[in-house]
Amino acid sequence: MYVIFMADFLHEHAVRFEEAFHSGKTCALQTAQIMISKLNPDLALVQRRGLSPLDDVEDIAEYARSAGKDISPVPHPRRY
């Protein structure tokens, strides 16, 4: 599963987030749980609107620009 490899890579490079959120879809939640378990296990995951595959990204982009902290919107993984 590529998510584990990505989480390991980010962990090896000391990447940490102060906030992580997902769309609420099962695959996004599972992806977020894997990523956060490696990067910041004490971080609470938050479900946010605007992260579904067909949603306009502008709201999340604006939040990211103005948050003043390291955030991670967790996407839906592609299945190949």
- pLDDT tens track for 36-65: 998 999 988 989 888 887 888 898 889 889
User: In the structure encoding, which two tokens stand for residue 43, read together?
Assistant: 């971080």
Cα pseudo-dihedral 48, 52, 34, 7, rounded to 10: -100
At residue 77, the pLDDT reads: 62
User: In the structure encoding, which two tokens stand for residue 46, read together?
Assistant: 């938050």
Domain boundaries, given as residue ranges, for the chain: 2-73
**Statement: the pTM of the whole predicted model exceeds 0.75:** yes
Confidence class for position 24, pLDDT limits 50, 70, 90: confident
At residue 76, the pLDDT reads: 67
